[in-house]
């Protein structure tokens, strides 16, 4: 079956994805909360999922932690069934160490670093000028 896979799609490496691992928003207004679910690619966002694989809380708690839970065993199973992953889930799994770190994570990191440097520079120069005065 694995050998035939390439033939069926004119040399493309994988069968067309029918399942996707993605976020499903579960919170209320102004309070996002996400379930990590596996669903049909074309299913509506409000449809009940095939299976829940974890949760993600994008708002930091009192200890400044963003809590996430993941069921690696089932994620591994669904990936073996040919399920794809959405970009946010890829980023999250990259940060969790399950996937390689997503390029966007690197990009946001270096952009934030650059911005922080610039702001710190402006602050230091601003304070110096005030001291001189």
Partner 1 sequence: MFKIVPKLQLLSKYEAVNFTKYELVRFRKRKPIHLGTAKSKLFRIPERPNQPEEERMELLRIFNNYRTTMKSLRNFFIVNHSSEFVEASEDPEESRRLFEEDFKRCSAINDQWNKNQKERREKFFAKQHEEEVTFALNRIELEKKKAQELQEAIEEIVRKEKEECKTIITPDMLDKAIEYALANPVDYNFALESNGEKIIGRNTKPSSNQEDKIVAKQ
Nearer of residues 33 and 77 to partner 1, judged by Cβ: 77
Between 104 and 121, CB nearer to partner 1:
104
Please give the residue ranges that form the binding site for partner 1 (CB under 8 A). 1-2, 13-14, 76-77, 79-82, 90, 99-100, 102-103, 106-107
CA 42 to chain centre: 19
Element (H, E) at 21: strand 19-25
As measured in angstroms, the least distance from the Cβ of 80 to partner 1 is 3
Task: Give min distance, CB of 29 to partner 1, in A.
Answer: 30
Q: Which is nearer to partner 1, 47 or 106 (CB)?
A: 106
Least separation in angstroms between residue 90's CB and partner 1 is 8
Q: Which residue(s) pair with 52 in the sheet?
A: 37
Decide: 104 and 87 in contact? Cβ < 8 Å.
yes
Selection from 12, 16, 21 nearest residue 72 by Cα? 21
- 50 versus 79: smaller Cβ distance to partner 1: 79
Q: How far is the CB of 78 from partner 1 (least distance, A)?
A: 9
Q: 10 Å Cβ neighbour count for 15?
A: 12
CA angle 116, 23, 81 (to 5 degrees): 120
């Amino acid at each position: 079956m694995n050998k035939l896979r390439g033939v069926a799609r004119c040399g493309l490496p994988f069968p067309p994805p029918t399942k996707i691992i993605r976020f499903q928003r579960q919170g209320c207004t102004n309070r996002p909360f996400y379930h990590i679910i596996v669903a049909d690619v074309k299913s509506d966002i409000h449809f009940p999922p095939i299976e829940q694989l974890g949760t993600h809380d994008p708002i930091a708690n009192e200890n400044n932690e963003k809590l996430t839970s993941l069921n690696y065993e089932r994620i591994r199973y669904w990936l073996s069934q040919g399920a794809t992953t959405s970009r946010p889930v890829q980023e999250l799994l990259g940060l969790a160490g399950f996937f390689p770190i997503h390029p966007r994570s690197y990009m946001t990191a270096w952009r934030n670093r650059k911005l922080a440097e610039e702001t710190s520079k402006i602050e230091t120069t601003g304070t110096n000028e005030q001291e001189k005065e």
